[in-house]
Amino acid sequence: MSSELSRAVEETFIRFHDQGIIYRSTRLVHWCCQLNTALSNEEAEHEEIKGRTLRKVPGYTSPVEFGVLTSFAYEIEGGERIVIATTRPETMLGDTGIAVHPDDPRYKHLIGKTAIHPFIEGRKLPIVADATLVDMEFGTGAVKLTPAHDENDFEAGLRHNLEFINIFNDNGTLNENAGPWKVLSLLALFNKQGQRRFDARKSVVEKLKERGLYVDAHEHEMTLRICSRSDDVVEPLLKPQWYVNMKDMAAQAYNAVETGDLIIKPKLSESDFKRWMENIRDWCISRQLWWGHRAPVYYVKIEGETQSVYLLSQ
């Protein structure tokens, strides 16, 4: 953390920003609700869940249940219903659409219609056809779309021009976009925050049962993203953060292996390396905790302007 190294970080950051290698973008990040910071892919580890599992989560006195696929119905304008399945019932408060496969005979007649959200007044969910996202053989063949809280749904939201509605505060409590879940308890009212995300998981299911929309639940294998520092379950959140463009560097590394300038040993690992380069994602370098050198970026308000702008130090 010496001044020489800090100056080197500033110089590198600004040069890369000027070259378009470092940029700012609003997209889904791995968010640790316990530490209140974004994480890189490497800091969000995978944990395989084979079925119904009770897991300790930081900040919760009782273990939280994972590995359960919950099915419930959305009512469609006109009187029909469509059943979807999810491992994260609480995120239905951020749903803005429903996807079906364009060739699925069960749902072809519903494409273009809208479903009615049972808890958020005035919110309607368009039913869209999406062959990229939907597997007709999995679950009910209909997929809830929560573009602000799921990576696959994020891409689908862009394809179908859906709303991106964030329902979580940084600490994992429900915000004003979650309707009544903003103030579902006296504690939430006192703290001026909504229910915690995994408490809302239970209460959403309870409310679905009261409305006659709950269908069933059964065990389901799944993968959790876990913060390597806090052991918290990572929450995908839509936030403006700083990124490094990895596409060009990955292409150069891939070509170096192809030409023999870079040799991967053992040879059998070469295919893994190439697959990693082909599917690489841009690197989120923002952290809201001081784990390293600070980004040389400052936000200023300009008189007469409604939004702040960022400036790089020189």
**Residue 155 predicted with pLDDT over 90:** yes
Which pLDDT score, from 0 to 100, does residue 186 have?
Answer: 47
**Residue 144 predicted with pLDDT over 90:** yes
Q: Side-chain half-sphere of 194: how many Cα atoms within 13 Å?
A: 24
Residues 111-130: pLDDT tens digits? Answer: 999 999 999 999 999 999 99
More confident residue, 67 or 293: 67
CA separation, residue 97 to residues 56, 214, 309 (Å): 32, 18, 33
Residues 72-96: pLDDT tens digits? Answer: 999 998 889 999 999 999 999 999 9
pLDDT mean across residues, the chain? 91
159 and 215 share a domain? yes
Which pLDDT score, from 0 to 100, does residue 213 have?
Answer: 97
275 and 308 share a domain? yes
Torsion angle of C-alpha atoms 11, 13, 19, 25, degrees rounded to 10: -160
pLDDT above 90 as % of the chain? 80
Q: Would 44 be classed as within a structural domain?
A: no
Which pLDDT score, from 0 to 100, does residue 192 have?
Answer: 56
**Residue 311 predicted with pLDDT over 70:** no
Q: Would 207 be classed as within a structural domain?
A: yes
- Beta strands 68-76 and 214-219 are antiparallel
Tokens of 203: 């209460």
Residue range 86-110: mean pLDDT, rounded: 96
Bond prior to 126 in cis (omega within 30° of 0): no
**Residue 312 predicted with pLDDT over 80:** no
Q: Would 128 be classed as within a structural domain?
A: yes
Which pLDDT score, from 0 to 100, does residue 130 have?
Answer: 96
For position 110, which CATH number holds?
3.90.740.10
250 and 216 share a domain? no
Q: What is the pTM of this model?
A: 0.86
Residues 246-300: pLDDT tens digits? Answer: 999 999 999 999 999 999 999 999 999 999 999 998 999 999 988 888 888 887 8
Q: Contact 251/279 with Cβ under 8 angstroms?
A: no
3-state secondary structure of 244: strand
Residue range 24-44: mean pLDDT, rounded: 93
CA proximity to 281, closest of 311, 312, 309, 241: 241
Q: Which of 54-68, 261-275, 299-313 has the lowest mean pLDDT?
A: 299-313
Q: Would 228 be classed as within a structural domain?
A: no
**Residue 70 predicted with pLDDT over 60:** yes
215 and 249 share a domain? no
Q: Which of 96-110, 131-145, 196-210, 283-297 has the lowest mean pLDDT?
A: 283-297
91 and 212 share a domain? yes
Which pLDDT score, from 0 to 100, does residue 310 have?
Answer: 67
Which pLDDT score, from 0 to 100, does residue 194 have?
Answer: 77
* Domain that residue 214 falls in: 68-220
Q: Would 171 be classed as within a structural domain?
A: yes
Question: Binning pLDDT at 50, 70 and 90, where does residue 135 land?
Answer: very high
208 and 162 share a domain? yes
Which pLDDT score, from 0 to 100, does residue 299 have?
Answer: 79
